[in-house]
Amino acid sequence: MTSSEVPSVSVQAVPGEFDNTERPEGDARAILLDVREDGEWELGHAPGAIHIPMVDVPARIDELDYDADLYVICRQGGRSIEVVKYLEHVGFDAINVSGGMVAWQQAGRSLVADGDHQAKIY
């Protein structure tokens, strides 16, 4: 599978809210999976995103919902493409978010940060 074969969407096409709560049966929820490293996550991330660093995804796969709309994001798109390939291989319908969190911030999408500093990606 090449990057051109990986399902991808722009940051504008990603749903606006991720509350990670159960939905009524038949109503798929959307998950934004952020696969960046801890330090990147702490600087800023999308509200409601789930954080699992790329290297930890195989060990933490049970934290993901096979029935959810799963959007995968990293800083600029390289790691998320690889994670989408892996998730597709193990049975998920995963979608890469093109341009990653850099494009997210450039598009003016909401950001939050851990601690008492202003959220920023770059």
Residue 58 has what DSSP assignment?
G
Q: How many CB atoms lie within 10 A of CB 98?
A: 20
Instruction: Give, in order, the Cα–Cα distances in Å from 23 to each of 14, 20, 40, 69, 91.
Output: 18, 9, 30, 12, 21
Which residue of the set 31, 32, 46, 74 is catalytic?
74
* Active site (annotated) includes residue 89: no
Residues marked as catalytic? 74
